[in-house]
Amino acid sequence: MVRLATMKFFPNKLLILLMLVALGVVALACDPTPTPPPEEQKETPTSGPTATPTPPPPPTHFIAIADRRVGGTVGLYHYSLEHWDCGGNYTPLNTTAGYTPAQIITNCKALNAAATPTKLAGVELLANTGWTVWAGRDEVFGSGRVWVTDGEWVSEIVYTDSATKIMPIFTGNVATTTAKWNTILGLARTYNWGEQTGFAAVPTFTKWPGSMYKSQQTNSNTFVRYLVTTSGLAMTEMNGSHPGNATPSQNTETQFNKPLSFYAAHTPWKGGTPKPKPAGTPP
The reported pLDDT for the residue numbered 26 is 36
Specify the number of domains making up the chain.
1
The reported pLDDT for the residue numbered 24 is 47
Long-range contacts formed by 274-278: CB under 8 A, 24+ apart? 274/132, 274/149, 275/134, 277/134, 277/147, 278/134, 278/147
Give the Cα separation of 166 and 104 in Å (integer).
Answer: 8
Give the Cα separation of 194 and 124 in Å (integer).
Answer: 11
Flag whether pLDDT at 54 surpasses 90.
Answer: no
Q: pLDDT-derived band of residue 41, with 50, 70 and 90 as boundaries?
A: very low
- Does 50 map to a domain? no
As a whole number, mean pLDDT of residues 7-14 equals: 42
Q: pLDDT-derived band of residue 29, with 50, 70 and 90 as boundaries?
A: very low
By the 8 A CB rule, do 117 and 87 touch? yes
Q: What is the CA radius of gyration of the chain?
A: 39
- Does 130 map to a domain? yes
- Does 190 map to a domain? yes
Residues above pLDDT 90, as percent of the chain: 74
3-state secondary structure 132-189: EEEEEEECCCCCCEEEEEEEEEEEEEECCCCCCEEEEEEEECHHHHHHHHHHHHHHHH
- Does 276 map to a domain? no
By the 8 A CB rule, do 119 and 160 touch? no
As a whole number, mean pLDDT of residues 72-95 equals: 96
Flag whether pLDDT at 28 surpasses 90.
Answer: no
Flag whether pLDDT at 248 surpasses 60.
Answer: yes
The reported pLDDT for the residue numbered 52 is 73
Cβ density class 51-72: b for 16+ within 10 Å, e for less: eeeeeeeebbbbbbbbbeebee
As a whole number, mean pLDDT of residues 199-212 equals: 97
Q: Which domain holds residue 141?
A: 61-261
CA 224 to chain CA centroid, Å, is: 13
- Does 211 map to a domain? yes
- Does 20 map to a domain? no
- Counting DSSP H helices and E strands in the chain, the numbers are 5, 8
Instruction: For residue 268, say if its preceding peptide bond is cis, omega within 30 degrees of 0.
Output: no
Q: pLDDT-derived band of residue 18, with 50, 70 and 90 as boundaries?
A: very low
pTM: 0.80
